[in-house]
Amino acid sequence: MIFEGIIPPVITPLHDDHSIDEDGFAAVIEYMIEGGVYGIIVGGTTGEFYALSPEERIRQFQFAGDIINGRAQFVCGVNDISTAAACAYGEAARDAGADGLLVAAPYYSLPTEQENAAHCLAIDKAAGLPIMLYNYPGRTGVSMGEDYLDLVSKSPNIKAIKEASGDINRLHLLANNYPGIELSCGAEDQALEFFVWGATSWVTPMGNFFAEEVVALYDACVKEQNFVKARRIMAALLELTSVLEGGGQLIQCTKFACQFFDLPAGTVRPPLKSLPEADMENLRDVLTSARSDIQAILAEA
């Protein structure tokens, strides 16, 4: 399996009482598939996995598997604070028909490189599925360093790494020193740079509401090798990526953007709260401008 193309982490639409809106969940998945995404991650941070019960998470794997039904890569985020729980989620994902897993470091415990590698390899052994690593030290507290990568890369199931540290030097390290691990962009404002360095995929929450636009960037970079066009598309996205990445409200912004484009999203679960009205107004303007600019670029072809 190659992790390729646009692979968005899907939101979890909620009703006003914070229960999961499964019809809305299905609708967002259908929108993304129709928009040309290559894969969908279920159970990622954008999907508020940390606020879902174990029963809800496993049900979501099963439900998503039925909806996707082989039309896109089906990837499950199986992260948890304990190795035993993460392994159990990995097994549940496999049983639901997942094609691959997204595996980050267990948060809060701050494992060593060796401990973190053992955590990942335990999930690998339990589930036996292709794995995309997820390096996001800003959320987990630890980085997947060279000792870690040397240990886990011995497994044939370690296929890719979603690099979300924001450190451009990590991109150079991974591209040059670990060519056997596919590169996936996990930083919203660095997609162009990742594709220049040979990334095969982009894990972007913008796929929940900008599927056509982010697929167009992938196509320009990877299929057309037209980096002039790609740079123009990326430039049109930069104000939006700044809003998404810069305010600590990525999930709220993603859900608001979905609603702005008439896609079901609903509220967020506590401890998060909805966007303040001033932020909503700014995001409306940014979304409208970005879509208009990108559509104009695509209309030139």
Q: Fold for domain 5-224?
A: TIM Barrel (3.20.20)
Contact, 39 vs 75, CB < 8 A?
yes
Residues 63-73: tens digit of each pLDDT: 999 999 999 99
pLDDT in the model for residue 96: 98
Closest listed residue to residue 8, CA positions, set 183, 215, 221, 155: 215
**What's the CA gap between 12 and 148, in Å, rounded?**
31
> What count of other Cβ atoms lies within 10 Å of the Cβ of residue 147?
13
Catalytic machinery residues:
134, 162
Amino acid residing at 67: I
Domain locations along the chain: 5-224
Closest listed residue to residue 103, CA positions, set 71, 136, 74: 136
pLDDT in the model for residue 248: 83
Contact, 65 vs 39, CB < 8 A?
no
pLDDT in the model for residue 301: 62
The pLDDT profile of the chain, 301 residues, written as one tens digit per residue, is 899 999 999 999 999 999 999 999 999 999 999 999 999 999 999 999 999 999 999 999 999 999 999 999 999 999 999 999 999 999 999 999 999 999 999 999 999 999 999 999 999 999 999 999 999 999 999 999 999 999 999 999 999 999 999 999 999 999 999 999 999 999 999 999 999 999 999 999 999 999 999 999 999 999 999 999 999 999 999 999 999 987 789 999 999 999 999 999 999 999 999 999 999 999 999 999 999 999 999 999 6
The three-state (H, E, C) secondary structure of the chain, written as one string: CCCCEECCECCCCECCCCCECHHHHHHHHHHHHHCCCCEEEECCHHHCHHHCCHHHHHHHHHHHHHHHCCCCEEEEECCCCCHHHHHHHHHHHHHCCCCEEEEECCCCCCCCHHHHHHHHHHHHHHHCCCEEEEECHHHHCCCCCHHHHHHHCCCCCEEEEEECCCCHHHHHHHHHHCCCCEEEECCHHHHHHHHHCCCCEECCHHHHCCHHHHHHHHHHHHHCCCHHHHHHHHHHHHHHHHHHHHCCCHHHHHHHHHHHCCCCCCCCCCCCCCCCHHHHHHHHHHHHHHHHHHHHHHHCC
Q: Model's pTM, two decimal places?
A: 0.96
Dihedral pair phi/psi, residue 5, rounded to 5°: 80, -160
Amino acid residing at 79: N
The verdict on whether omega for the bond into residue 106 sits within 30 degrees of 0, i.e. cis, is no
Amino acid residing at 216: A
pLDDT in the model for residue 284: 97
CA 66 to each of CA 2, 24, 230, 239, 271: distance values in angstroms, whole numbers, following the listed order: 22, 15, 34, 36, 30
Q: What is the mean pLDDT of the chain?
A: 97
